[in-house]
Structure 1
């Protein structure tokens, strides 16, 4: 059972506002996207897209169809899953979102185990910082997400999933500090931080505020968009960074990175499942329950 392909093409283009990106997501050519959009416009008798200064935008009719297309495609997906259970063969599409740390260090194992148990279910994972993932939920591009922050959007429900700790680290070869006793010492360290909008940066900022230290007081030399890039930077510099323990396990084991203890400062947080308020449909609920089961076994 499959939804009308032209509706799928339209929805992908409406979300991306870029025919080339929509084509890449659907594994078709850009001319094929244009062809399907034109056919849909002929069928409906309305113009769905317009260009304003070279920028692709939805018309009023396009905005209306986008809202309904999401509901229609979701219903197709739910019906596909329900009918597949009657045949003893699961099928369906689950669109997941994960903030950067989660997508790199937490969810891959869960995805592999879930896919092994439910091979008929197609999985799509979108990753980005917490702000971007929450936007994907609000725009209904994602069915279920795991984020590094909680309760930042009133229309999103956050469910605690996994504990995490953020620690100060640096390259072992360049380190001359064993422990920080005075918080003011932090202000003297050359730091590399995550980018604005990152859940990691938000929790660091909040924890430092509790010790009367504000980000502008720190010597932040640059900001990078992922824990991976920060780790590689640390290995080739004398800088310091706050990173999730999930991100540095292997580096601690091989001795390339070292944790610097900060007296009376522990930065703890939780990763959260996040979805729009309301009843969670079958596939996202199935995945969330599976993830909790896996976590209880570790």
Structure 2
């Protein structure tokens, strides 16, 4: 078996063209270097170095080994650095940012599971608008984020999952008597909606307008920036709202919210994992991103409409 240390000694002698200079650089005695080279030549089965004038040069076989050895040693050095960084990272703090829909419903459980894998780390979670999470990434305050909007081109973005938007009412709402409604019926329903600049509202607006509806004529009676507040209002029996299905899965399973199909309506929120390409992505951040991506198939459950 070829020894990494001997390969390092061999390439150093080849680079410096001298046993004595290599001895100074490697902090190894010259006889020890000579012995390592002889041992390597014995393992390889051919002569690797020769004297030319007052300098040590590579033989033809030595040249071939040198090229392969440099690649191997570079890979080895990178691996050592990565493992050293990971050892440091696992005691580090991970700053995560997320928009409310994902940050309040799906992300907490994922963070707990990730914390179990790396119990020495500290996680700090910030839940805010996608724009503020994006700013935090750009400013270096947040290491990695999950947002539901297009971001600055300087930020690296990886699609996580698409979250279907569904119209829901409370279990005692009169609309539960219907299995499907026509889009025009939305004009007659009191609606509870996210604030005007939210990505959820934007996706609903674009879909309805593509179907010929005038979004401005809808009866939007209550606006708020909290999906939790919207869910509680609708569950109380007042009005209806469009929800990202991942945020209400528990309420759907328990029958607290009832999905109502709108004919030909289709809208999604696209969630992306983001981090800033200008910052060095630590091994811990990379591990977290890979962990989240490994769970992407479980993030969007199907919604069962009433038949």
Question: Normalising to structure 1: TM-score of the pair?
Answer: 0.66
- Aligned equivalent of 1:102: 102
Q: Secondary structure at the match of 2:265?
A: coil
Report the CA distance between 1:158 and its aligned residue: 2.0
Alignment of 1:78-93 (within 5 A): 83=84, 85=86, 90-93=90-93
- Aligned equivalent of 1:175: 174
Q: Deviations over 1:69-109 (max 9, x none)?
A: xxxxxxxxxxxx9657458x821111110110101111111
Number of residue pairs aligned between Structure 1 and Structure 2: 217
- Aligned equivalent of 1:213: 213
Q: Deviations over 1:28-78 (max 9, x none)?
A: xxxxxxxxxxxxxxxxxxxxxxxxxxxxxxxxxxxxxxxxxxxxxxxxxxx
CA–CA distance in structure 2, aligned partners of residues 161 and 262 of structure 1: 26
Q: Secondary structure at the match of 1:238?
A: coil
**Greater mean alpha carbon deviation, residues 255-264 or residues 270-279:** 270-279
Q: Secondary structure at the match of 2:172?
A: helix
CA–CA distance in structure 1, aligned partners of residues 114 and 87 of structure 2: 20
- Contact 1:131–1:198, Cα closer than 8 Å, also in 2: no
- Aligned equivalent of 1:275: 275
- Contact 1:95–1:124, Cα closer than 8 Å, also in 2: yes
- Aligned equivalent of 2:287: 286
Q: Secondary structure at the match of 1:119?
A: coil
Provide structure 2 residue ranges, at least 5 long, that are not aligned to the other structure: 1-81, 300-307
CA–CA distance in structure 2, aligned partners of residues 144 and 86 of structure 1: 19
Alignment of 1:59-74 (within 5 A): none
Q: Deviations over 1:262-296 (max 9, x none)?
A: 11112223211012234533222110011112335
CA–CA distance in structure 2, aligned partners of residues 244 and 238 of structure 1: 18
Report the CA distance between 1:152 and its aligned residue: 4.0
- Aligned equivalent of 1:197: 197
Alignment of 1:1-40 (within 5 A): none
Cα 1:173–1:297 change in 2 (3 A) is: closer
Q: Deviations over 1:220-267 (max 9, x none)?
A: 111112111111111223300000111222222222211110111122
Cα 1:272–1:96 change in 2 (3 A) is: same
Cα 1:297–1:192 change in 2 (3 A) is: closer
Structure (1 or 2) with the larger CA radius of gyration? 2
Report the CA distance between 1:180 and its aligned residue: 4.5
Question: Normalising to structure 2: TM-score of the pair?
Answer: 0.64
Which 4+ stretches in 1 moved above 6 angstroms? none
CA–CA distance in structure 2, aligned partners of residues 175 and 169 of structure 1: 12
**Greater mean alpha carbon deviation, residues 278-287 or residues 164-173:** 278-287
**Greater mean alpha carbon deviation, residues 118-127 or residues 245-254:** 245-254
- Contact 1:131–1:197, Cα closer than 8 Å, also in 2: no
- Contact 2:159–2:272, Cα closer than 8 Å, also in 1: yes
**Greater mean alpha carbon deviation, residues 122-131 or residues 193-202:** 193-202
Aligned residues: CA RMSD: 2.5
Q: Secondary structure at the match of 1:221?
A: strand
- Contact 2:157–2:273, Cα closer than 8 Å, also in 1: yes
